[in-house]
């Protein structure tokens, strides 16, 4: 096996633990990092000296290090790849920026306008570093116990884009050795608008929660986002949000589909429809997916649609409904007070369609008009 570089995985939750095991299996050394305030999430792995994983990826994997020191985690690595909820992106970027060096890649698997939201920050505070994102988290994974994660499935393919787009090839080259085994593919997307707008989680989660709100209100236990709550009527709303995002991409001349499929299931294997979301002692209306798919999902679709002249009534409507239901102005911020992915935050307020495309492709903003 060819010697592969050390990679930093940022976030030691289920997704980060699974990715750590995956990269180690492919021959990488992995520095696993967690924020100090969430150290308890990583501590069970530290206590055991590694990560036990079951399911589609199976074994016990020992990272090169497990640390809450970002400088230590980033030392000498080519890529730092994030596996965290969108509302935590800013916490990780804040820690990473002072230690990123020229040529290092900060990449995120949970897109939600990640590159657009933090491009200017890296440009100013970490000049020469590269920012990039992929279309979706590559795994269907959750924690079976504090020190064991279970990978129900991994996606057969994913996409990557950098900002500016000229850097996409570098990111693709760096990540491909770890993400193209087991018949998987990793392909370039047109730009970071495509990876964020076509993030399938945005349309998959929100309709099920909205249209089954009474059940989500009254339980802190199992819920079925993809099965029981994925009814034909719910699917109509899901597909409408998806089609609004596709329409924007088609209008801008981008690909209108980034297909990231799971392998087909065999008889007796669990499917997405059988998946239950378990969140003990947490109101279902506080689900993590809701708190990222609205402020960084439907808000982004509606705002970009408005900027380029593509109607997005369903994305706008569900955002307004949740704003009323939960008392959070998702058009401005998430529940924690972080700025949402509106036009101002994305650096596209007042830009024409042509200027928006130029910005995401080249990273260059137009000169201010008199």
pLDDT over 90 (residue 214)? no
The Cα–Cα gap between 340 and 45 comes to 33
Helix (H, G, I), strand (E, B) or coil at 155: coil
The Cα–Cα gap between 22 and 333 comes to 34
Residue 253's CB is within 10 A of a number of other CB atoms, namely 10
Sign of the CA dihedral running 92, 94, 95, 101: positive
Query: What residues contact residue 189 under an 8 Å CB cut-off, 6+ apart?
Result: 135, 159, 160, 161, 168, 195, 255, 258
pLDDT over 80 (residue 53)? yes
Residue range(s) in the chain whose domain bears CATH number 1.10.1040.10: 200-254+263-362
**Residue found by looking up tokens 């770890």 in the block:** 178
Task: Give residue 161's pLDDT.
Answer: 98
pLDDT over 90 (residue 223)? no
Lowest mean pLDDT among 77-81, 220-224, 264-268, 305-309: 220-224
Task: Give residue 94's pLDDT.
Answer: 97
Residue 352's CB is within 10 A of a number of other CB atoms, namely 12
Residue range(s) in the chain whose domain bears CATH number 3.40.50.720: 6-197
Helix (H, G, I), strand (E, B) or coil at 151: strand
Q: Under a CB-based contact definition with an 8 Å cutoff, are residues 170 and 189 in contact?
A: no
Helix (H, G, I), strand (E, B) or coil at 9: strand
Q: What is the number of H-type helices and E-type strands within the chain?
A: 14, 14
Task: Give residue 1's pLDDT.
Answer: 39
pLDDT, tens digit, for every residue of 149-163?
999 889 999 999 999
pLDDT over 50 (residue 167)? yes
Lowest mean pLDDT among 12-21, 131-140, 343-352: 343-352
The verdict on pTM exceeding 0.75 is yes
Of the CATH numbers 1.10.540.10, 1.10.1040.10, 3.40.50.720, 3.40.640.10, which one belongs to the domain with range 200-254+263-362?
A: 1.10.1040.10
Token pair listed for 340: 């949402």
pLDDT, tens digit, for every residue of 254-280?
999 999 887 776 776 656 555 555 454
| Domain range 6-197, CATH architecture | 3-Layer(aba) Sandwich (3.40)
Q: Which residue has the higher pLDDT, 300 or 1?
A: 300
Residues 186-212, mean pLDDT to the nearest whole number = 91
């Amino acid at each position: 096996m060819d010697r592969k570089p050390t990679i930093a995985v940022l976030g030691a939750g289920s997704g980060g633990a699974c990715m750590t095991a995956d990269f180690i299996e492919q021959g990488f050394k992995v520095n696993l990092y967690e924020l100090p305030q969430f150290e308890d999430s990583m501590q069970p792995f530290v206590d055991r000296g590694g990560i036990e994983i079951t399911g589609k990826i199976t074994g016990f994997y020992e990272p090169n290090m497990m640390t809450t020191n970002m400088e230590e985690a980033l030392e000498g690595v080519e890529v730092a790849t994030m596996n965290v909820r969108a509302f935590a992106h800013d916490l990780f970027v804040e820690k990473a920026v002072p230690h990123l060096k020229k040529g290092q890649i900060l990449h995120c698997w949970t897109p939600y306008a990640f590159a657009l939201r933090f491009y200017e920050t890296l440009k100013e505070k970490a000049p020469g570093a590269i920012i990039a994102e992929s279309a979706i988290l590559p795994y269907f994974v959750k924690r079976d116990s504090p020190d064991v994660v279970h990978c129900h499935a991994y996606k057969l393919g994913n996409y990557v884009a950098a900002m500016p787009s000229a850097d996409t090839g570098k990111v693709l080259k760096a990540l491909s050795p770890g993400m193209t085994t087991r018949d998987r593919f990793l392909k370039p997307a047109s730009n970071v608008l495509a990876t964020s707008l076509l993030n399938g989680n945005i349309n998959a989660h929100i309709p099920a929660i909205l249209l089954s709100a009474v059940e989500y209100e009254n339980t802190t236990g199992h819920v079925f986002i993809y099965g029981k709550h994925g009814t034909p009527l719910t699917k109509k709303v899901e597909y409408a949000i998806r089609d609004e995002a596709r329409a924007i991409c088609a209008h801008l001349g981008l690909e209108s589909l980034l297909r990231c499929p799971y392998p087909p299931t065999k008889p007796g294997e669990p499917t997405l429809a059988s998946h239950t979301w378990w969140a003990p002692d947490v109101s279902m209306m506080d689900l993590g997916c809701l708190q990222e798919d609205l402020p960084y999902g439907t808000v982004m679709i509606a705002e970009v649609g408005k900027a380029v002249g593509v109607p997005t009534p369903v994305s706008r409507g569900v955002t307004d409904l949740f704003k009323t239901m939960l008392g959070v102005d998702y058009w401005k911020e998430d529940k924690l007070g972080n700025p949402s992915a509106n036009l101002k935050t994305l650096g596209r307020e007042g830009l024409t369609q042509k200027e928006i495309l130029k910005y995401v492709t080249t990273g260059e903003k137009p000169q201010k008009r008199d």
